[in-house]
Structure 1
Amino acid sequence: MAQDNDKARENWARYLYGKDRGHTQFMEHANRCEGMYLGGGEQWSAVDRAVLQDQGRPCYEFNEVQPSINSAVGYQIHNRMDIVYKPRGGQADLDKATILTKLVKQVTDSTNLHWMETQVFSDGLIAQRGYFDLRMDFESNILGEVAIDTLDPLDVIPDPDAKSYDPDDWGDVLVTRWLTLDEIEQRYGKAARTEAESSNDDGPDFGDFDDEAERSKFGMFSQASLYDAYRTDEQGFKRYRVIERQQFVYELTPCLVHPSTGDVLVEATMAEDSKTDALAKGAVRAKRMRKRIRWVVSTWCRTLHDDYSPYDHFTTVPYFAYFRRGKTRGMVDSAIGPQEVLNKAVSQFIHILNSSANGGWMVEEGSLSNMETEELESVGAQTGLVIEYKKESKPPTKIGPNQVPTGIDRIIDRADKALKDVTVPDAMRGSQGPEISGIAIQSKQFASQQQLAVPLDNLAYTRHLLATRITKLIQRYYDSYRIFRITEMDPLSGKPTDEVLEINKFDPATGDYINDVTVGTYDVVISEQPMQVTFENSQFQQVMEMRNAGVRLPDATVIRYSNLADKPEILKAMQSSQAPVDPTLQAKADLMAAQAIKAKADARLSDNRAIGTNVETQYSAVQTAQIIEMTPGTATTADGLLGSAGYVDHDAAPIVPAASGMPATAVPATGGAAAMAEPVLPPGAAQNTNPVLPANPGVGLMAGIKTPGPDGLQL
């Protein structure tokens, strides 16, 4: 028991250390930023408001912070997070990655992550810091389900000495809450309830009277005496300050090591069946130095829980809009100064205008006959006032209004401009004149998003941290057979489709598990779905431009990218009944098909002509060679004729060489009457006697080349 009390005192000392190292100042500033965003009288400090009220001056608020923050939050609302997994190593493959992607999508939908993210993103922009809380919930499912919640930034104390965005680089993190006994029992068990109840550490408030800033809640700041009147055990109004600390420790830890993959798993965080399965597959027990999380929960003097965390990471996942080495800022921080200048300048301007309506009167003593001077002072600003003064007296003279100091209106304009410069410009709010087209407004909105580049990039980092931790929880705790029902939109029909997804199903035939999501390592890819209206408008415009340019896109594609509310029904009707074909479109298609056929025929004809020319050339060369072989003397004569005609030889001279092995005038030994006889021509073939053109196998092209003798040999 004494050791438990030492843990509680250690937790309390760490809590005080975090408060003194800047958390108290952070809470005060966060509440100031909250008031600047909400307005409703909270933009003025209590001191300034009291001074103005004593002077009878107004305290006007022209809240320009809220629309600026709402525009930035609106961008996040219309850009949903999409988590996709890619296989990286181990037994991971594309099929398992696809199943894991669908499973994580189902988890994020069931936990309302998008709305949780909006709350965290708003906390980061307004109060500098926002926090997710990620853990397993066994309340509604004995096997456990991933649970995502948000934390009040004023309740979270990060490691004061850390300077990293990633909580894995922090030494510890504290979360302080005010819980009832029932809430303590629900979170930490009946033994913790008994311990807290016997400690008498209950407090009268939520920290409102404990040198802390007031927490945001439905109730207003209350008096302790009124609270004590209703604080009874039966009504459950007793609350205890519970400090939950998660701390990294580095110590020798029993582990299971897989020889094949090299994976090291902490044995204490594994289920019994998982350990049995790992040992059956060859894993061996070993002790290794490991970084683990020690989880201690306590009140001021009693320890409610002290054990190792079942998770590899802190349950707290942060979001910081602007982060510089441990220093955090929000979007409201830079808007406080311009907003205060705007409120004071407008209040001063209105005060001057109000004072000018009754500047006073200059009255001669005893000159009024229908009223006293004091009465004129009270009713002198009324409409239709009648003043009667004595004869021979000077008439009352109204004092002129005070002049508005030069430059006060310009201060208002500059303060308004500075507010938009440090938050978001008018273009992102969509507040443009009617003379500007919608496309131009969307273009300016896209350009103005650069103002949100840093907060959105940090949001992407937070999304990556959260997705990585969700993956580890799924691979560790979703290790049994489960059935999920996945509902998706069919990209073709636009209708919702249901899919039954089974994971970790044992196959007796192979001895393996089907759709085993517990094995393998995956890369997490975080993407955003663009703003729906802008995205669909741009897609539809591109489809119409492509269609106007001649790209034959189907009608179903045009409908699919439109903004029609009932486009799934339209697509279904188009699929069930074919619309009549436009005759002009059909004629155009037939014409294009005929032109294509004609082009192919022309190409084949051109190829045939080229082949015929090549055949003619080769045939003429063969005939020339036969003449030279039978009458070698013609080579010298032919060479001279070609040379005088200007023919240029592309080989070595002479142009027409003599027959090899015999003089130009020799006659072959096998010659004679038989060799010099008229060649036998094919039936119907005409002998070519044209001295200019060589012999042409005109008949041979059509009926086959059959040439017993040289066609060009003239006897």
Structure 2
Amino acid sequence: MAKSRSGSIPAVVREAQECLKTAIEAETQNRAEGIKDLKFGAGEQWPEMIQTSRELEHRPCLVVNKTDSFVRQTVNNMREQRPRIQVHAVASGADKQKADVIAGLMRHIQTNSNADVAYDTASDFQVRIGWGYWRIAARYTAPDSFDQELYIDRVRNPFTVYFDPASSQPDGSDANWCVITDLMSREKFQRKWPKAKLVDLRAVGAGDELHQWATKDEIRVAEYWKVEHVPDTLLLFSNGDKRYRSEVKQEDLDAAAANGLRVVKERDTVRRAVKWYKLTALEVLEEREWPGKWIPVVPVYGAEYELDGKVVRYGMIRMLQDPQRMYNFWRTAEAELVALAPKAPWLVAEGQIEGQENVWNSANNRSFAYLSYKPQSLDGHQVPPPIRQQPQQLPSAQVNAAMGASEDMKAVAGMFDPALGAEGQETSGVMVQRRQAQSDKSNFHFYDNLCRSIRHTGHILLDLIPHYYDVERTIRIIGEDGVPDSVTINQKQMDPLTGAIQEVLNDVTVGEYDVVIDTGPGYQTKREEAADHMLQLLGTPLGQKVSMIADDVILRQFDWPGADLIADRLAAANPIAQAEQNLPENIPDEVRAVIAQLQAQLKQSGALVQQLQTDLKYKLSVEQMRQQGDAQRTSMQDSTKRHDIESRDQTALELEEIKGHVAILLAHMNDRREIAAVEAAAKNDATH
């Protein structure tokens, strides 16, 4: 361990103490004002001298804390639309499928570590005092496991963080050091580090460099992060991989050359190495090298500007203090005026309450059903009954002053009645929305800075994932819709014959990716809005066309029971949906949509061709039947004609034969008649 020349205290401890001094000197004004802002927002809104003098005089000091409501309005608007980290593939082995896995892993990390609490705590301090922090840590998943998980932890007290004042980036990505302090009881300290020296202040002597580090019952333990810029050589291999020479051994280079892998280019560069130390005022308790290239402490700033060489940071409360004090003063004056004003007296003629003085003396404090008096006369005229004087009225100037202070607070905060839930002069929903949007724009810099810090958090996670998720393991990922799933990362596909690695599925250790921030409403809100828009679309001619090709997609947007079941049944009958289900997962969405459309069209064309073939076959069959019918009909007609001809010929022959027979019969009959006539004539002759 390195020792300083002037004593036994390690050099890194003195270095951390110097950084702490630098941060305290640079941030003294901001920290002092920040503490005032916190106390003011918590209700300490009267100047101390004025409050003390009023209390000595037993005068009220009312606090009508409208400041805190303005802060909560701004913070809750940011909670309602939390920025979301999205991952895009860039180059060097990156693709959309692995980008989706990494994005799902990041959502798991945020969900598993309750990152929304860290974001909300930091943004609350950002709006109140002008800055807040969260941090990224790595912890083992179980006492008996070697697997580690990344976590996003909140920083409950931003005043324990001393950030590099030379950092100028709004997300703190260029910081070179950071000190985080924590007071521990001496008993806990000895239990955790039994071999560490527990030295009292008097043992090391007085010194400004040590008074911040120990008390009688507690000892201050600090985490010291520092970035070292290490000269190195960057190597580019023939397969496109890039490695630092300090990370590659010579035997690895020789083995790679034997396998045909060679270095094609190299250049001198400077790499970032992050070191972490746990230390006290006297010694280093723990130390290690952090695998990432950024300090895993992320600031989120409010408004800031540079004045006289120093950076001034502030939140919303800083500018609300004066109008809030005025509002408290005038409201207190009103209450004081009413409370201390004398009771309205009774005007009573002498002798009217004689004998009933006790009742009338308590008339201002008690409620009586009636008050009796004795009528009196003066110079023969009846004296009017007792009457009460009118109570003292509030001066209109005080009332107007309180209203003016309230309006000043709205103007300073940039929030108007519609944004605060009150009715304004707006007469339509569109005007109300525009006024609300104007209020959001007044404080949009808080939300925009939060987006920048969360984006840097995504970069830190991208940088750390290859180090902490570098072996084959099954992890949980969470989709954009919040639905969890399990996936195996770094899954090696082996050649069954040679045993060599053919492919690594879901390899999250290679590839270049970038982070973008998705803002606006969350998935559930977008889903509800999409369902409303789709319902409106279905009533249009375009909606009818959409429902023919995406009816299952429309139905999945609804959140009532059975919607997914009906959508599955519709998808089973939708050729486009069936085609999409059969496509590989690593195809981009745009290409997937085109392929699914073409496959659906091809399937429809195939069905049409099959139908046409069936129809053609049917038409051919009908034509053949028609031709056969015509042939049979022609044959029958020919047969009929032949039969008719033959029948006619036969009939003619038969008629001729009949005629011949008739002629013969007639001839025989004529012969018989002639014979009969001759015989008759002969008989006649014989008779005569």
User: Which TM class, normalised by the smaller chain length?
Assistant: 0.5 to 0.7
Check the 8 A contact 1:177/1:243 in 2, yes or no.
yes
Alpha-carbon spacing, 1:399–1:164, altered in 2? closer, same or farther (3 Å)? farther
Is 1:570 aligned with 2:563? yes
Determine the structure 1 residue equivalent to 2:41.
37
TM-superposition CA deviations, 1:302-353 (whole Å, max 9, x none):
3324554443111211001223353322122222222111111111111112
The equivalent position to 1:150 in structure 2, one of 154, 168, 172, is 154
Determine the structure 2 residue equivalent to 1:243.
222
The equivalent position to 2:412 in structure 1, one of 422, 437, 442, is 422
Partner Cα distance (1:497, 1:113) in 2: 17
Alpha-carbon spacing, 1:314–1:574, altered in 2? closer, same or farther (3 Å)? closer
Alpha-carbon spacing, 1:252–1:576, altered in 2? closer, same or farther (3 Å)? closer
Matches within 5 A, 1:108-147: 108-138=110-140, 140=142, 141-147=145-151
Structure 2 counterpart SS, 1:530 = coil
Structure 2 counterpart SS, 1:334 = helix
In the TM superposition, what is the alpha-carbon distance from 1:291 to its structure 2 partner? 3.7
Structure 1 counterpart SS, 2:65 = coil
Structure 2 counterpart SS, 1:421 = helix
Alpha-carbon spacing, 1:157–1:439, altered in 2? closer, same or farther (3 Å)? same
The equivalent position to 2:19 in structure 1, one of 8, 14, 27, is 14
Determine the structure 1 residue equivalent to 2:589.
none
Letter in 2 for 1:34: L
TM-superposition CA deviations, 1:243-294 (whole Å, max 9, x none):
32223333445x66343447344857x9999999999865799985434334
Alpha-carbon spacing, 1:266–1:540, altered in 2? closer, same or farther (3 Å)? same
Check the 8 A contact 1:201/1:240 in 2, yes or no.
no
Partner Cα distance (2:103, 2:160) in 1: 33
Q: Which has the larger radius of gyration?
A: 2
Matches within 5 A, 1:76-115: 76-115=78-117
Matches within 5 A, 1:459-608: 459-486=450-477, 488=479, 499-509=485-495, 510-530=501-521, 535=526, 538-550=529-541, 551-552=543-544, 553-554=546-547, 559-562=555-558, 566-573=559-566
Number of equivalences: 528
TM-superposition CA deviations, 1:56-102 (whole Å, max 9, x none):
22222222122222222222222233322222222222232222222
In the TM superposition, what is the alpha-carbon distance from 1:368 to its structure 2 partner? 11
Determine the structure 1 residue equivalent to 2:164.
159
Check the 8 A contact 1:539/1:561 in 2, yes or no.
yes
Alpha-carbon spacing, 1:278–1:438, altered in 2? closer, same or farther (3 Å)? farther
Check the 8 A contact 1:559/1:567 in 2, yes or no.
no
TM-score, structure 2 length as denominator? 0.65
Alpha-carbon spacing, 1:115–1:7, altered in 2? closer, same or farther (3 Å)? closer
Check the 8 A contact 2:92/2:511 in 1, yes or no.
yes
In the TM superposition, what is the alpha-carbon distance from 1:455 to its structure 2 partner? 1.2
Letter in 2 for 1:248: V
Alpha-carbon spacing, 1:17–1:448, altered in 2? closer, same or farther (3 Å)? closer
Is 1:382 aligned with 2:365? yes
TM-superposition CA deviations, 1:565-601 (whole Å, max 9, x none):
x5242342565599xxxxxxxxxxxxxxxxxxxxxxx
Partner Cα distance (1:274, 1:320) in 2: 46
Letter in 2 for 1:317: V
Structure 2 counterpart SS, 1:350 = helix
Structure 2 counterpart SS, 1:169 = coil
Structure 1 counterpart SS, 2:436 = helix
Determine the structure 2 residue equivalent to 1:670.
none
The equivalent position to 2:337 in structure 1, one of 338, 341, 352, is 352
Determine the structure 2 residue equivalent to 1:26.
30
Determine the structure 2 residue equivalent to 1:176.
181
Alpha-carbon spacing, 1:344–1:534, altered in 2? closer, same or farther (3 Å)? farther
Structure 2 counterpart SS, 1:572 = helix
**What root-mean-square deviation, in Å, do the aligned CA atoms of Structure 1 and Structure 2 show?**
4.7
Partner Cα distance (2:65, 2:249) in 1: 55
Letter in 2 for 1:463: I
TM-superposition CA deviations, 1:434-463 (whole Å, max 9, x none):
997767655543443212321111111111
The equivalent position to 2:292 in structure 1, one of 289, 293, 311, is 311
The equivalent position to 1:410 in structure 2, one of 400, 405, 412, is 400
Partner Cα distance (1:576, 1:522) in 2: 38
Determine the structure 2 residue equivalent to 1:194.
195
In the TM superposition, what is the alpha-carbon distance from 1:379 to its structure 2 partner? 6.9
Structure 1 or 2: more helix by fraction: 2
Check the 8 A contact 1:256/1:264 in 2, yes or no.
yes
In the TM superposition, what is the alpha-carbon distance from 1:514 to its structure 2 partner? 1.9
Name the stretch that deviates more: 242-251 or 529-538.
529-538
Partner Cα distance (1:540, 1:440) in 2: 25
Letter in 2 for 1:150: R
TM-superposition CA deviations, 1:404-449 (whole Å, max 9, x none):
4453222222221222233333323343479977676555434432
Is 1:323 aligned with 2:304? yes
Structure 2 counterpart SS, 1:467 = helix
Percentage identity across paired residues of the two chains: 19
Partner Cα distance (2:512, 2:346) in 1: 87
Structure 2 counterpart SS, 1:96 = helix
In the TM superposition, what is the alpha-carbon distance from 1:534 to its structure 2 partner? 6.2
Is 1:293 aligned with 2:274? yes
Determine the structure 2 residue equivalent to 1:48.
50
Name the stretch that deviates more: 553-562 or 300-309.
553-562
